Structures are given as C-alpha cells and as structure tokens.
Amino acid sequence: MSTAFSTLRHVRGFDVVRPLSIVTMLAIMTPLVLLPLASIFIFGTSKGLGSFWAALTAPEAIFALKLSMVTSFWATVFNVIFGLFASYVLSRYNFWGRNAIIVTISLPTAIPTAVAGFALLLLWGPYGTLGRLIEPHGIHVMFTAWAIVLANVFVTFPLAFGVIKPVFDTMSRSLEEASATIGATRWQTFWHVTLPSLRGAIVTGALLTFARAVGEFGSTILVSGNLANRTQTAPLYIFAKFNEGQVEAANAVAIVLALFSFAIFSVLFFARDWLDTE
C-alpha cells in the first residue's frame, strides 16, 4: 500500500492547478473540520493551563475517562475474539442464512445509536424480554458498566468484523492446507499460520473498535443511566457538564478525547505497512 504517487504532467514549467487545488481543498476543510477541532483547544487553554488541569483532574472527570477506557477495552477484547470466530465461521462454512447474518451484523452502522440503546433496553431492561426473566434473580444488566460494554459491542462490532472478515475471505487456503499436510491440528494451524496472517487486521479492528467505543454517546446515554461517578462515560460527562453550563469542564475532557483519537488514527495511518497482511 506504500504507493509513491506521481502526477501526470499536463503542462511545462509551473502548473498553477497544483497550488490552486491544494488551497481550495484547505479552504473548504478549514471551517468544516479544522476550525471546530481547533476551537476546542483554543477555548480549553484560554484560561490558562492551570484551570484546564483543574477541570481535567476533577474526580468526576477522571472517573468518566477511566470508565470509558475500561468499558471500551472490554468491548474491544470481545470484538476481537468474537470477530475472529464469527469471521472464521462465516467465511469458512456455507450454511443456510449465512448471507442474512452477514448483512445483519453490519446493520448497527446504519441505524441511529440511540435506537441501538433502546433496543438493548427493550431486551435487558427491567421490563424487557430477557430482563424480566433475570431481574427477579437479582441480576441487573442495564444501568451498570456492563450495559455500556454491551452497547459498545453492539455499535462497534461491525467495525472489527468488517476489517477481519475480508482478510479471511482472501486468505489463500493453500497455507492452511500445507499446514495440515505437514501434520498440524486445526488449532495449531490456526495459531501458527492463520493468526499471524491476521495480525494487521486484528490490530486495525481493535484500534477502530476502541476509538469508536470511547466516543460512543447515543446508545450509552440510554443504557447507562448517566450517573456521575457510577455509569457516566467521558462523552456523557461532556454532555452533562455542557448542559450545566460548565463549558470548561466539558472542554477539558473533550481535548483528551480528541488527542486520544488523533493518536489512534495516527497509528493506523503511519503503521499501515506493518498492519498490512504479508
């Protein structure tokens, strides 16, 4: 994928199209993406780093950031493991309804995340289909950290699946066949041959899942209950503080999230050769 781009020369000497197109592109992008991002940083640091730091180290803010990281981490772990398994099954075995499942898995990317949230409520909530059955046994899923993990998985699974499954599809079967004829069991083949080829897809899928889960808002606000210091994730904290008029507090956490996602996407971009299979 490390293609060296070369542009076709249309004119001799100075080509005015080049600077012109770069400037146009930047002019459109600036108000759309760059300025909004910049304003977070400008506003966050306008009252000095001291107040930024104070806003960030407020116990509620730290709790919200931690909760986001922890729930996203478990959602990522689940997505990678189950994503591998589901991709394996759906790419290796042909069975009735397979394509329907593949389509259904991708659905959550298109429906509003709030719908994902209340779908989970309808299932696991106190009066939900499953919730009604487990609630009497003292098992509460909704309005806990587990609800956040569930919501994250629901929303982000298509990302991990969408990265891992194509690699399974295009992987040469002869590698696995070679391994089998050499004498490896299915598990040895998977561990020594299949998995190493999936390294890039797994890391990419994990980073995408994590980045998306940390920023998830619509579904978490419905299923978590949004209780400060208990089930309030970073995006919910930002929303709550903003509603309370504490824009600095909201902004400090926003800066952390922005930097965090910047870091993740930088890794994805600059390590893409390493992440590429082969």
Nearer to other proteins, 170 or 174 (CB): 174
Instruction: Tell me how far, at minimum, the Cβ of 193 lies from other proteins, in Å.
Output: 6
Candidates 113, 194, 114, 201; CA nearest to 155 is 113
Give the integer Cα–Cα distance in Å for 248 and 242.
8
Q: Are 78 and 149 spatial neighbours (Cβ–Cβ below 8 Å)?
A: yes
193 belongs to the binding site for other proteins (CB under 8 A): yes
* 161-180 positions binding other proteins, by CB under 8 A: 172, 174-175, 177-180
Using left for φ > 0, alpha for ψ between -120 and 50, and beta otherwise, residue 30 falls in: alpha
Give the integer Cα–Cα distance in Å for 189 and 126.
45
Give the integer Cα–Cα distance in Å for 169 and 249.
46
Q: Are 121 and 151 spatial neighbours (Cβ–Cβ below 8 Å)?
A: no
Instruction: Tell me how far, at minimum, the Cβ of 272 lies from other proteins, in Å.
Output: 17
Nearer to other proteins, 175 or 271 (CB): 175
Which one among 22, 42, 182, 259 touches other proteins, defined by CB under 8 A?
Answer: 182
68 belongs to the binding site for other proteins (CB under 8 A): no
Nearer to other proteins, 183 or 245 (CB): 183
Size of site (CB under 8 A) for other proteins: 19
Nearer to other proteins, 53 or 191 (CB): 191
Q: Are 65 and 258 spatial neighbours (Cβ–Cβ below 8 Å)?
A: no
Helix (H) or strand (E) holding 131: helix 131-134
Give the integer Cα–Cα distance in Å for 76 and 255.
22
Q: Which residue has the tokens 């991002």?
A: 37
Which one among 98, 192, 230, 272 touches other proteins, defined by CB under 8 A?
Answer: 192
User: How far from chain centre, in Å, is Cα 203?
Assistant: 12
Residue 66 DSSP SS3:
helix
Which one among 62, 70, 134, 184 touches other proteins, defined by CB under 8 A?
Answer: 184
Provide CB contacts within 8 A for 102, sequence distance 6+.
90, 165
Which one among 45, 62, 70, 199 touches other proteins, defined by CB under 8 A?
Answer: 199
Instruction: Tell me how far, at minimum, the Cβ of 196 lies from other proteins, in Å.
Output: 4
Give the integer Cα–Cα distance in Å for 55 and 44.
10
Nearer to other proteins, 140 or 199 (CB): 199
Instruction: Tell me how far, at minimum, the Cβ of 164 lies from other proteins, in Å.
Output: 17
Nearer to other proteins, 109 or 197 (CB): 197
Instruction: Tell me how far, at minimum, the Cβ of 190 lies from other proteins, in Å.
Output: 12
197 belongs to the binding site for other proteins (CB under 8 A): yes
Instruction: Tell me how far, at minimum, the Cβ of 201 lies from other proteins, in Å.
Output: 13
Binding site for other proteins (CB under 8 A): 172, 174-175, 177-185, 188, 192-193, 196-197, 199, 278
